[in-house]
Amino acid sequence: MHVLDGKNTVVFSSVDGERVDADPLQRYETGLARLLADARNVEPATAPIPATGFLRKGGTYYLVSAIRMTTYFEVDDKEIDLGTDHVMVFAEALDAEFLPATADGYMLPNLAIIGQPQGLWIARHGFETYGGGEQAFFAWDPDLPGSVLLPKLMLGLGAVFILMLLVARNFVRRAADVAQSLEDARRQAERANRAKSEFVRTVTHEVRTPVNAILGFAQVLQREMFGPLGSPKYAEYADDIVQAGDYMLDLVGDLLDLERIESGKASLSPEVMDANEALASAVSYVEPMATDKGLVLALQPMEGVAEIRSDPRALHQILLNLLSNAVKFTPPGGEVACRTFAKGSDAIAIQVADTGPGLSAAQIEKVLQPFGQIDSAQVDLGKGGKKRGSGLGLPIARRLTEALGGVFDFASILGRGTTVTLILPVDR
C-alpha cells in the first residue's frame, strides 16, 4: 500500500502490513501516471471511484487499484483538511500470490505471464498495463480432453479397421476357395461330359453295326429269300426281330442326335425357308400312319409364304418327332391339327395340336427330360404288342428348337390333348 500526496510524493508505504521506505512506487514503469490521474479525476464533491488495472515494475506485474483519499479529520476538535490530492494505491504482485493460488485453485497448470504465447493448445488471457501500455498474456496449459481421447479413438478405429481387413481377407480367401472349388467342379463336369459323349458315340457306333447286321439278316428271313421258313412262328419271330432292330436303330440315332446337340456339335445351317412347306412335308410322312389309325390330320398353313430362317433338316426332324408323337398317342377317331401363323412381326409359329390323352403338369416336366417317359407312353404295335418310345423325341425337339433361336412351347391338358407350338424367327 502506498499513499501519495498531491505532488505524487510517496508519503507512506507498507508491505504486508509493515511500514517500509517510501520509494518503491517510483519504480513502477508503465501506466502509473495515468492511474494516478484517473484516481484524482473525480469531482471533489462526488464519492471517490477506484482506478484499477495492471502495472509492471521490473519484471513483475502487479494488480493495482488507486483511489482519491478522503482526508478530513479532527485534531483538538479542529477539522483539518489535507486537500483532495492524496491518493492511496494498493498493489498486489501477481507472481507472488495470485498466480500460484489461481493455478492450484483452478487447475491451470504452468500458469505464467509471458509476452507472446506460442502453440496451438496454449490457453491465454491477454491484458495491457494501465492506460494502454505493454501487452502481456496470462498463459497456461489447459486440460485437453480431445487430445486424451483421440489416441484412444484412433486405437479403437485402427483395431476395427484391422479386424475388418482380417475379416475381409478371410472372406476373400473363402470366396476364392469356393470359386476354385466351383471351377474344379466345372472342369470335372466338363471332363465327365466329354467322357460321357465319347462313351455314347463309341457305344452307339459299336452297337449300330451289329444291329444293322441283325436287322439285315432278320429281313432276309422275313422275306424268305432263301426258301420258306416252314413254321409260321419263324415268320412271326422274324417280324419281331425287325421291329426290335428298327427301334434300336432309332434309339441309337436319337442318342447320337441328343449328344451332338448337348455338346454343341450339332451342325446347323440356317437358311431362308418356307415354314408352310416344311410342315406340309413332315405331315406327308405321317399321313399314312394317321390314315391307318383313323385319325383326322388337318393342315392349316397361313396365307402367303411363311418365310423363316432355319435349318431345314433340323426343322424336319423336330416336326417329325412332334407329328409322330401326336399320331402315336392320339386314339383312333381323334384329330391332329397342324397350322402355321404369324406370331407378332418377327416370328412365325408352327403348331401341332392333338386330341390325345394329354398330360398333367408333372408329366409334362418329365417328358421334356431325356428318357423321361410316363407309364402310359406305350405305343400299340398291333397284334397285341406294345413298345415304349425312346423318350428322346421331345427333348431333342426342344433343344433343336432352342438351338435354332426359337421357342418351344408345350401345353397339355390331361384328358383333352396336347398342343406344341414352335415359335421361330422370321428372316431379316
Partner 1 sequence: MAAPADQTILRLSRPFWLLAGISFLCLVLGATYLMHAQNRTAIQSSQMLFSTVVESRLTRLSELVLEYGYWDEAVDNLVDDVNEE
In the complex, the residues that contact partner 1 under the rule CB under 8 A are 1, 3, 5, 11-12, 19, 48, 50, 52-53, 63-71, 73, 75, 80, 82, 86, 88-90, 92, 98, 102, 106, 108, 121, 123-125, 127, 138, 140, 142-147, 149-150, 153-154, 157, 161, 164, 168, 172-173, 175-176, 179-180, 183
* Three-state SS at 191: helix
User: In the bound complex, what is the minimum distance in angstroms from residue 347's beta carbon to partner 1?
Assistant: 38
User: In the bound complex, what is the minimum distance in angstroms from residue 59's beta carbon to partner 1?
Assistant: 19
- Round to whole Å and give the CA distance between 423 and 428: 15
Burial class (CB in 10 A: 0-12, 13-18, 19+), 161: exposed
8 Å CB contact between 225 and 170: no
Nearer to partner 1, 55 or 221 (CB): 55
Of 217, 284, 266, 263, nearest in space to 244 by CA: 217
Instruction: Provide φ and ψ at 334, rounded to 5°.
Output: -80, -175
User: In the bound complex, what is the minimum distance in angstroms from residue 107's beta carbon to partner 1?
Assistant: 9
User: In the bound complex, what is the minimum distance in angstroms from residue 100's beta carbon to partner 1?
Assistant: 13
Nearer to partner 1, 12 or 371 (CB): 12
User: In the bound complex, what is the minimum distance in angstroms from residue 144's beta carbon to partner 1?
Assistant: 5
The DSSP symbol for 108 reads -
Nearer to partner 1, 5 or 427 (CB): 5
Nearer to partner 1, 10 or 235 (CB): 10
- Round to whole Å and give the CA distance between 238 and 269: 40
- Tell me the one-letter amino acid at 300: Q
User: In the bound complex, what is the minimum distance in angstroms from residue 29's beta carbon to partner 1?
Assistant: 19
Nearer to partner 1, 80 or 220 (CB): 80
Nearer to partner 1, 73 or 199 (CB): 73
Nearer to partner 1, 90 or 247 (CB): 90
Nearer to partner 1, 6 or 385 (CB): 6
Instruction: Find cell 470359386 and name the residue.
Output: 179
Burial class (CB in 10 A: 0-12, 13-18, 19+), 207: middle
**Residues sharing a CB contact under 8 Å with residue 193, sequence separation 6 or more, in sequence order:** 262, 263
Nearer to partner 1, 144 or 220 (CB): 144
- Round to whole Å and give the CA distance between 124 and 122: 6
- Tell me the one-letter amino acid at 212: N
User: In the bound complex, what is the minimum distance in angstroms from residue 135's beta carbon to partner 1?
Assistant: 15
User: In the bound complex, what is the minimum distance in angstroms from residue 193's beta carbon to partner 1?
Assistant: 22
Instruction: Find cell 496470462 and name the residue.
Output: 138
Alpha-carbon distances, residue 100 vs 115, 197, 321 (angstroms): 19, 98, 109
- Enumerate helices (H) and strands (E) in the chain, giving the number of each: 8, 20
User: In the bound complex, what is the minimum distance in angstroms from residue 394's beta carbon to partner 1?
Assistant: 39
Per the document, the length of the chain is 428
